[in-house]
Amino acid sequence: METLRVELGERSYEIAIGKGCLGGVGEAVSKLSGVSPRLALISNPTVHALYGRAVEESLDSAGFETATIIVPDGEEYKGLMWVEKIYSELLRRRLDRQSVVLALGGGVIGDMAGFAAATYMRGIRFVQVPTTLLAQVDSSVGGKTGVNHPLGKNMIGAFWQPSLVWMDMDVLSTLPERQLLAGLSEVIKYGVIWDRGFFDYLREARKDILSLDAQAIARLVRRSCEIKADVVAKDEREGGLRAILNFGHTMGHAIETLTGYTKYLHGEAVAIGMYLEALLSERLGIMKQGGAEEVRALMDAYGLPFALPDGLKTDAMLGAMAVDKKTVGGQLRFVLPEEIGKVRVSEPVSEEDVRSFLNSL
């Protein structure tokens, strides 16, 4: 297995990346200092049917008494109602302050399980076992946890770092194509915000990546995690630099909110948001002409959407973006590319400029 370390002082942790390693997760969790034998495994029906037994057997062999909690599959269930159900089960099974919550699933499961762990008894440890590409390259690393509100995505949450991230590349073989492509949007994001060479690699290695070539997938997962770990180590709580990880998310989250979290997968909405925010950057004179087209062309090569959905009103988009976490004093801010490989968090962009841009699409 390969390991990366997220350096956060006493909150540092390892990202372990391997193939066929799911059965080793129990032993790895048992090596965390001072853990209770009572552990909660949180998953959804689809993932649990595929991998739950292997993980439960691994935990059992490592001496854990596992409480398995199944929550429905889908972004629309990522809310406080289901977190409360998780709390109830944690209490019923008498998990204590030394217990561990293990998230087995994609970003929705990781976010919900992490938020439950962050707030149960004022915080217990949790472990991420991501089973989607998007979760492996993005949401499982960095300690952002939370749930949605009908008025905004991820508006209720906490920064709570995992104690371990355990990735098995083999699980991607059962991932539906749509989920795989949605994860690639976050991979493309890293190229735009940080690494021009990585962006070019994604274009050149397209066939190998889409065919799940082991070497290509390992490279893109590792490089994505390296970039995110570097950014998070420099700015754990998004005081400055870490905001660049939200490229495409201001408009992307608005699209998710306005379509009820059901029309698009998260990565698909972010793909649209990245193209729109690159176009906005060109319009504001920050990105040179043609840069947005490079972003669009790479997303198109991977079958990702990039057009603003029909029927979304400008006023509704502005209203949804007004609750974005980068908005300060009612003024909209975006992560805007200067070129491929370099972005900036913008100065406030006037509502008039954003309205005019959206109306022009």
Residue positions annotated with a catalytic role: 122, 144, 186, 228, 238, 242, 246, 249, 253, 266
Q: What is the Cα–Cα distance from 260 to 335, expressed in whole angstroms? A: 24
Report pLDDT for 321: 94
Query: How do 335-339 and 342-345 pair as beta strands?
Result: antiparallel
Identify the pLDDT of residue 50.
98
Dihedral angle over CA of 336, 342, 347, 348, nearest 10: 20
Specify the pLDDT at position 353: 95
| Sign of the CA dihedral running 76, 81, 85, 86 | positive
Beta strands in 270-361 (DSSP E): 335-339, 342-345
Which pLDDT score, from 0 to 100, does residue 324 have? 84
Reduced 3-state DSSP string for 186-226: HHHHHHHHCCHHHHHHHHHCHHHHHCCCHHHHHHHHHHHHH
pLDDT score, position 326? 78
pLDDT of residue 156: 96
Euclidean distance between CA atoms 8 and 89, whole angstroms: 31
State the pLDDT at residue 239: 83
Question: At residue 76, what is the residue type?
Answer: E
The pLDDT value recorded for residue 325 is 77
Q: Give the separation between CA 333 and CA 345, rounded to whole angstroms.
A: 7
Q: Number of C-alpha atoms within 13 angstroms, CB side, residue 173? A: 9
Closest of 109, 86, 82, 108 to residue 99, by C-alpha: 86
* Cα 30 from Cα 42, distance rounded (Å): 17
* pLDDT value at residue 329: 79
pTM here is 0.93
- Taking the C-alpha atoms of residue 325 and residue 182, their distance in angstroms, rounded to an integer, is 23
Q: Which residues of the chain have pLDDT under 70?
A: none
Q: Considering just the CA atoms, what is the radius of gyration of the chain in Å? A: 20
